[in-house]
Chain A
């Protein structure tokens, strides 16, 4: 009985030895390892926000004018704050969202930066570019006015958005990151009569 067990153990030992020999698991090869650790690739950021110029709270509601009459005007301001790591080149544009098109076309807009007039013309023709560097902010003052005295404009309404959008090409290079903020506006004309 004992002899049989010894024979069995010997066979097992022999088989294991043969397997290890051919698999080279017990090879004591030398190995050297070098590592280049903590490689990192991180994407940058592009982000800006519209802020109230008084207290830097978020701002999305802009002009809300009731009873605008010819020669009348209203003033609003906004602070464009760069919250990302890239400089933001942005452009302004205005689009009508509701109301009377003739009245929207009659509205005039002036945009000032550092108290310098950067745009002066029709509301819907707004076109203005600027850049806010990383960590910086830019203040814009808007003046909406009505010069047209046509009676047909009385009591009309114009709802429009002023879109502040980062440009897709800045300095000749394509910018894949983008951001845009909307300022919502509504202007309602008052009543007036022109002589005649």
Chain B
């Protein structure tokens, strides 16, 4: 019984000392400053696609392939990182279609697929070699060399990854990407008459992983 009282006394004394101690050691002076201009701003990732001279980027449009002086050409696009974050550029081709567009008499003599439009029956793409050149000062040779035949669109993304790798584009910087096409005159005859290829070129600028 006596021991209980001693313990009780110790608790009471401790509690009392704690209250007193807290009160006595509390700082009486206080100052508060508020930094009300602090802000979190999310960076921007934005690219601008134009022609080499800054005008609106144009699509490739060749409708007389096979006529004199029509067997080669090219288009150059300028990609500028107009955002505030650095990015990594990549290029691919999607929606590549080789159309047959029917056959006229000379083509019908050598071609057994003459549907209209005849998706992926066309023979034009396989006689055209496309090259992609990058003027970043690092890749002097074409980073992509492929035909434009059916199923060849995957070559663009794969060869970009293999040959160009990571193409860094810091904020404010530009890079020119040139897509050329050419064909050896001896590589085709009537089988490609009226055939066409249609495709989309895609540029992706992805944020550099932090």
The interface of chain A, by Cβ under 8 A from chain B, is 24, 27, 29-47, 49, 83-86, 171, 173-179
Assembly CA distance A34 to B61 (angstroms)? 18
- On whether the beta carbons of B181 and A35 are closer than 8 Å, the reply is no
Residue B124 interfacial (CB < 8 Å): yes
Could you tell me how many residues of chain B have their Cβ less than 8 Å away from some Cβ of chain A? Answer: 56
Selected from B59, B195, B197, B204, the residue in CB contact (under 8 A) with A33 is: B204
- On whether the beta carbons of B188 and A179 are closer than 8 Å, the reply is no
- On whether the beta carbons of B196 and A40 are closer than 8 Å, the reply is yes
- On whether the beta carbons of B196 and A33 are closer than 8 Å, the reply is no
Residue B68 interfacial (CB < 8 Å): yes
Min CB–CB distance A182 → chain B (angstroms) = 13
Min CB–CB distance A13 → chain B (angstroms) = 25
Within 8 A of A (CB), among B177-210: 181, 185-186, 188-190, 192-207, 209
Selected from A36, A46, A83, the residue in CB contact (under 8 A) with B59 is: A36
Q: Which residues of A contact B45 (CB under 8 A)?
A: 30-32
Assembly CA distance A175 to B79 (angstroms)? 38
- On whether the beta carbons of B65 and A41 are closer than 8 Å, the reply is yes
Given A29-B206, A30-B45, A32-B204, A39-B66 contact (CB < 8 Å) = no
Assembly CA distance A177 to B64 (angstroms)? 12
6 A-B pairs with the lowest CB-CB distances in the bound complex, closest first: A173-B68, A42-B196, A30-B45, A34-B49, A39-B60, A30-B207
The interface of chain B, by Cβ under 8 A from chain A, is 43-49, 57-70, 77, 79, 83, 85, 87, 101, 104-106, 124, 128, 148, 181, 185-186, 188-190, 192-207, 209
Name the residue on A nearest B127 (C-beta).
A43
Given A33-B202, A34-B49, A39-B60, A171-B192 contact (CB < 8 Å) = no
Min CB–CB distance B134 → chain A (angstroms) = 16
- On whether the beta carbons of A35 and B200 are closer than 8 Å, the reply is yes
- On whether the beta carbons of A35 and B196 are closer than 8 Å, the reply is no
- On whether the beta carbons of B106 and A178 are closer than 8 Å, the reply is yes
- On whether the beta carbons of A41 and B196 are closer than 8 Å, the reply is yes
Which among A36, A41, A173 has the greatest number of chain B C-beta atoms within 10 A?
Answer: A41
- On whether the beta carbons of A86 and B67 are closer than 8 Å, the reply is yes
Min CB–CB distance B209 → chain A (angstroms) = 7
Assembly CA distance A157 to B194 (angstroms)? 43
- On whether the beta carbons of A40 and B60 are closer than 8 Å, the reply is yes
Q: Which residues of B contact A30 (CB under 8 A)?
A: 43-45, 83, 85, 87, 206-207
